[in-house]
Amino acid sequence: MGTKMILKLVATAAMVVILLQLQGVTFYFAALLFTLAAILLWVLPAQMARYKKNLDPGFQTAFEHDHIALDTTNRRLWIRDPARGQRYLEPGDISTIRTGLESVRGGRVHQRIEFQIHDLEHPVWHVWFDRHSESRLKGSNRNSHERDEWYARIKTWAGLKNMH
């Protein structure tokens, strides 16, 4: 969150609390109402922005998911790695791909496809499949199915064979 956003948030908080106190609302209740409003107006949109795709204007999406999209016309793949940002790949850029998962607390697992590409600076990229809640078996199975579907799609698109 930037400095301007924090100043905006503080100014809004002060105005809301003052207006509510003028209406006879206690400070604590006014602060609670402001906190809920801040979550709805700033925090949730900021969290949802991480799923916004910033694709090149010439990118013609044939298939897409939250962190991956395929342009079959121009033979380009867009991927987003939470640690590295986004990148465009052509079939020849990919050395190998493999599926994987990461166990996290509470018995949850996060599904991913790992790309090993021809890049000395950043040779490994991860695309996460976390659209559905991992707290339920049904959500975990759906994420796994979507990951496996993309794995097969990329193998076909890039002409890759025998990857484990």
pLDDT, tens digit, 9 for 90 and up, residues 87-113:
999 999 999 999 998 877 766 778 899
Q: Are 88 and 141 contained in the same domain?
A: yes
Q: Are residues 14 and 72 in the same domain?
A: no
pLDDT score recorded for residue 45: 60
Task: Please report, for the domain that includes residue 99, its CATH number.
Answer: 2.30.29
Going by pLDDT thresholds of 50, 70 and 90, the confidence category of residue 152 is very high
The candidate with the shortest Cα–Cα distance to 70, out of 81, 61, 80, is 61
Do β-strands 108-117 and 94-104 pair in parallel, antiparallel, or remain unpaired? antiparallel
The answer to whether residues 104 and 33 belong to one domain is no
Question: Are residues 23 and 98 part of one domain?
Answer: no
Do residue 135 and residue 68 come from a single domain? yes
Q: Does a structural domain hold residue 89?
A: yes
Q: What span, in angstroms and rounded, lies between the C-alpha atoms of 156 and 150?
A: 10
Same-domain status, 82 and 37:
no
Q: For residue 10, give both structure tokens.
A: 């503080």
Tell if the pTM clears 0.75, that is, is over it: no
Q: How many domains is the chain partitioned into structurally? A: 2
**Torsion angles phi and psi, residue 24, rounded to 5:** 95, 10
Residue 54 lies in a domain: no
Same-domain check for residues 92 and 35: no
Q: State mean pLDDT over 18-30.
A: 74
Residues 36 and 69 in one domain: no
79 and 21 inside one domain: no
Query: What is the per-residue pLDDT for 82?
Result: 86
The domain of 26 spans 3-49
Residue 26, in any domain of the structure: yes
Helices then strands, counting H and E runs in the chain, come out as: 4, 7
Single-letter residue type at 127: V
| 56 domain residue, yes or no | no
pLDDT surpassing 60 at residue 39? yes
pLDDT of amino acid 138: 77
Are residues 69 and 42 both part of a single domain? no
Q: Are both 133 and 81 inside the same structural domain? A: yes
